[in-house]
Structure 1
């Protein structure tokens, strides 16, 4: 059983459960004696609905949960219901939130029988084998890597199981059919395809417990296996591959993976984007990958995973000596290459203050405007959790999840935290999720305003303006101030409701425009207008009126919605490219009427509001030139490959003719 964190129209792929099912179905000891199914639920699904779907046709013998902080309470409740229906049934908990946390987990949920403390792929078949052989649940000491309760109720932890060295011993959940890939209409059923190319992370950041494999050597799946999985996704026309690796772009194998993605994309037209948690330290391999993806029109958002720019906080994070902190040259290079990049920061790290954080945010925004800012959670098994008293951390558990939310520590007061929660709300909505995009670039390069000043200005405007359209935003800000509620409702509102767009226009005119250089006022207005025009095509279901009707057009096999004949006073698209690459000319800054058609990829409603900012940017409106340029790159690559294939066939034909003549005693 899995449950995602987001309540989205499309499912999130149950990759962890898929690995487990594939391992069980191919294990000679148990495969002929078990029937395994995956139950995968979206975030927001009620316990009543989950219980009905799980148990309406009878309770299973074994119920295994993939546990994370957002679903542990629901899964504990379902375990209790399960034991009412099947007292002899077995409940297995696995996942980073419960690994090595058996004492607390058993206190919270007495109905849990087994906790897996590491990789579960090979552990679950062992547990099922013991169950089938009639081994009592209180006598599982022969199974490595688990915790259970013996007959006297004592918690017993068995020796740790060595990490899997040859990952190919784990059967592919895609190639074996363990994960259902198509819906009832034979379409790919998930928002994106999730893949692992490797496991392990060489770093030991204080806030992280990535897959339970921090400070570990990286192990990779074979290229042949990964290519076969990619080809399956390509045939199913999967647009985006999201990699679950901790540091993609660090290994030579990562470049080979991208080579295969590009090759399959040229052959099948898919996949068209790869998103990843990119390597913290950018090596030659990373730069090679970036150049190749640009050359072949592959899209991605390249990450600067900085987390903080403050030296004291970096030291306490165990990141002080990481090369990732020499980031400015890399950001400038990505801008010159015209590549999309975003950065990550964490608010609330020990050693950080409000002043140091905002100083770092603005320094970073001079290079990268799309900054993903997250509040620090205290996660199990991390250095921060172990040193909670040393850092003076005061936290509270979530009321609907099991995360520890930090309220204060030695360098952050309660008031500091509440103030910054408001800032984080606007930073995530307006910058990370790209409600504005080009506006940030123009402001940073052509004015003295900082990104944090503009966001703070928006917060003040929303709370002071006499406009009913501001009321929902005020409510969401108040909620964010006292919780870690996602900002998805505000994103949907600002992207999809005309009254919210009118509010943004009023804020811009009344509150921001007077702060900008007056001699460039018209230019700033057009950049802001262009941002609103190129927002993803989306109509909020509660908005008044009907969605805007747009024509459709197919460009080199890709179908788009088209907004025709948009007249601009500046060539904004060209100006933004010039600003990002540092090649602005007087012509770029000169007003001249410019008419463009704008093109939008369909399906944004499946992602807007999920706070999945990596996906949202793939739905931003493009000019015809931008669409044609990307298509031309793909077409040129296909033409070159076709020509090469034709040449090989001709050469092969000649060789075949020569061989035939020789066999008959003719010319060699």
Structure 2
């Protein structure tokens, strides 16, 4: 009988194609010694699956070899799987791979588990050598390159395996028939491997910092065509720097052409090239025009030059990102800037100033991720020198260590910075007090960083609202690790607790010294009126007595209700300057504008679906600002509205 080999992938989300396992199976199948003597199977399940059910399914397979992919988001689950299988199938062999376990066999394998090995690099070549030893009947794992394992109480680590330099040695798992048709909805595509950068927080480049090796153009085109013809809804381009190579423009066009011909995919995501703003703007425009992309990520990480130098990212210029963001804004394409808090060298002050500067540059959306201490990165290697302190996210699925302190930030300052971001997210990204913040900044009344600090302090002082409680729990319990956390904030402040949030904003504003300024009150009222709806819903006027704006409802097209707003001229000019009205420069004298909350591509709230599902939808919408922002247009034919000015 052939040796049965089961690849186990526990993915972050449902129905994601297991590319890493596909590569290893395709590479092993072509080997004349291994391929004919092994039967391969890929088992994939999301980390949200029931662990007991997954373990029982894997036990029933009674495989001779289990190869388990291990990442930060699934390692707790993977350890449970390994423990159960190892106990009940003592004669099986196990090989673990992935960035979480590489060079860390001592943490994940017990000395008595001599039938468990850890792969310390790329899997294809190591997997074939490993299977040859298994097939021999008397494995000599010390002859396998790039692994660690226990023998007689000693941890043995063999010489590193050579990287795959010619990627065409690895057959395409798409066109070679590895993947079961109709089983997956999200494809992962890799057109090259390697990263020339060595960012200290990232395993991608920090662990390799090597020349980028490419698959041949026709191979990539064929893979894209296969993905399209097999009805994959979305595709993630897994290159470290999509857009770095000139060919990426033409490959992007091919992707759009395939979508137009076959109807799939309908969505594309990527990690954008770090220093190619013009090329990325061209690629983004192609994808947006093709309907496959709604927002472009810009991975800035920090505005501090000291921080960028300390994390080996100083060769990636912030100006590159801000120029790309400006170009996308001019083309009316949504974008979002990604930051990490707290990186080495970043102080609470530099972090706040950096965010405020990005707001002044009119960034669409700012996403701040917590820093995770990842294995095999240079920050991990220098963690003691950098004073890195971590707390682990409570979970039986992940092993995420969130950085809560460095030599530049203590635990209290880490929390202050996280509270600060919740203020920025709710007031700037979600437009809670967007116009007011800009008015105060431009009038010289209150700088943006001080305004958001004031709001964060106020939110923290409130213990009687569900929104403030959610912020507090997210800060204290590390809920911000969850990718859906910021979508949950959007769900709360723009939908389920909208009225409660209105009340928070009113109470905060009335307690500030600038409330005496009529212009500030007018900007505040404009924020209450124009705050967007993230779901498809009928706009409801806020319960607030307007004193500075004249507001009148009118029937719009398709049964919608719009608002005609009579406002001070300087406030109308601010709208135009912030580039959110669609009005042209020179129309600053307009003081009557019609506000409309468009349908766009919004979905209605789905009460029958889980809260997590709705939060996931909201998270996607947060990244696509222009999908849900209200629109303005001049109303010259409307008579002057009654009411105070």
Shift of 1:595: 5.8
**1:68 Cα shift?**
1.2
Q: How does the TM-score come out when normalised to structure 2?
A: 0.79
- Are positions 1:609 and 2:615 aligned together? yes
Q: Mean Cα displacement is larger for which, 604-613 or 65-74?
A: 604-613
How many residue pairs match? The answer is 584
Q: 1:480 to 1:20 in 2, by over 3 A?
A: farther
Alpha-carbon offset, residue 26 of structure 1: 3.9
User: Which residue does 1:532 correspond to in 2?
Assistant: 532
Q: Distance in 2 between matches of 1:357 and 1:596?
A: 33
Q: How far does residue 625 in structure 1 lie from its aligned partner after superposition?
A: 11
Secondary structure of the corresponding residue to residue 337 of structure 2: strand
Is residue 419 from structure 1 mapped to residue 410 from structure 2 by the alignment?
A: no
Mark the CA change 1:458 to 1:175 in structure 2 (over 3 Å): closer, same or farther: farther
Deviation at 1:473, TM superposition (A): 4.6
Alignment check: 8 A CA contact 2:580 2:631 kept: no
Q: Give me the whole-angstrom Cα distance separating, in 2, the residues matched to 1:143 and 1:22.
A: 19
Secondary structure of the residue aligned to 1:281 is coil
Would the alpha carbon gap of residues 443 and 153 (structure 1) be closer, same or farther in structure 2, given more than 3 Å must change?
A: same
Alignment match of 1:491 (pick from 479, 487, 507): 487
Indicate yes or no: 2:219 matched with 1:231: no
**Greater displacement, 592-601 / 387-396:** 592-601
Secondary structure of 2:379's partner?
helix
**Change over 3 Å in CA distance of 1:451–1:232 after alignment to 2:** farther
Query: Per the alignment, do residues 264 and 14 of structure 1 end up closer, same or farther by CA in structure 2, a change over 3 Å counting?
Result: same
1:16 maps to which of 5, 17, 20: 20
Q: Is the 8 A contact 2:392 2:401 kept in 1?
A: yes
Q: Distance in 2 between matches of 1:520 and 1:565?
A: 29
Which residue matches 2:149? 148
Can you list the C-alpha shifts for 1:32-58, whole angstroms capped at 9, x where unaligned? 333333232223334323222322x25
Aligned: 1:474 with 2:469: yes
Contact 1:238/1:271, CA 8 A, preserved across alignment? yes
Alpha carbons 2:427, 2:433 under 8 Å: kept? no
Partner SS for 1:38? strand
Q: Does the aligned pair in 1 maintain the 2:197–2:205 contact within 8 Å?
A: no
What is the CA–CA distance in structure 1 between the aligned matches of 2:409 and 2:278, rounded to whole Å?
A: 39
Structure 1 residues 391 and 594, CA gap change in structure 2 (3 angstroms): closer
Contact in 1 for aligned 2:532/2:628 (Cα 8 Å): no
Aligned to 1:4: 11
SS where residue 32 of structure 1 aligns? helix
Residues 486 and 288 (structure 1 numbering): CA distance in 2 closer, same or farther, change over 3 Å? closer
**Alignment map for 1:26-425 (pairs within 5 Å):** 26-55=30-59, 57-107=60-110, 110=113, 113-136=116-139, 139-150=140-151, 152-183=152-183, 189-190=184-185, 192-210=186-204, 214-282=208-276, 284-293=278-287, 296=290, 298-367=292-361, 368-400=363-395, 401-425=398-422
Cα separation, partners in 2 of 1:493 and 1:250, compared to 1, 3 Å? closer
What whole-Å deviation, never above 9, does each CA across 1:158-192 have from its counterpart, x for those lacking one? 22222212223323333334333525xxxxx43x4
- Alpha-carbon distance in 1 for matches of 2:313, 2:454: 33
Displacement after TM superposition at 1:530 (Å): 4.5
Structure 1 position 347, deviation (Å): 1.1
Higher strand residue share:
2
Q: Distance in 2 between matches of 1:236 and 1:624?
A: 37
**Rounded Cα–Cα distance in structure 1 between residues aligned with 2:624 and 2:232:** 14
Alpha-carbon distance, 1:21 to partner: 3.0
Give the whole-Å Cα distance in 1 for the aligned partners of 2:296 and 2:149: 42
Go from structure 1 to structure 2 and tell me whether the alpha carbon gap of 1:498 and 1:335 turns closer, same or farther (over 3 Å shift): closer
CA distance in 2, matches of 1:536, 1:181: 34
CA offsets, 1:313-371, max 9 Å, x none? 22211122333455433332222222222112111222211011100111112221411
Q: Distance in 1 between matches of 2:9 and 2:537?
A: 29
Between the aligned partners of 2:457 and 2:201, the Cα distance in structure 1 is 32
Aligned-residue Cα RMSD (Å) equals: 3.8
Q: Which runs of 5+ in 2 are unaligned?
A: 1-7, 539-556, 567-571, 633-645
Show structure 1 runs of 5+ residues with no match.
184-188, 540-561, 627-668
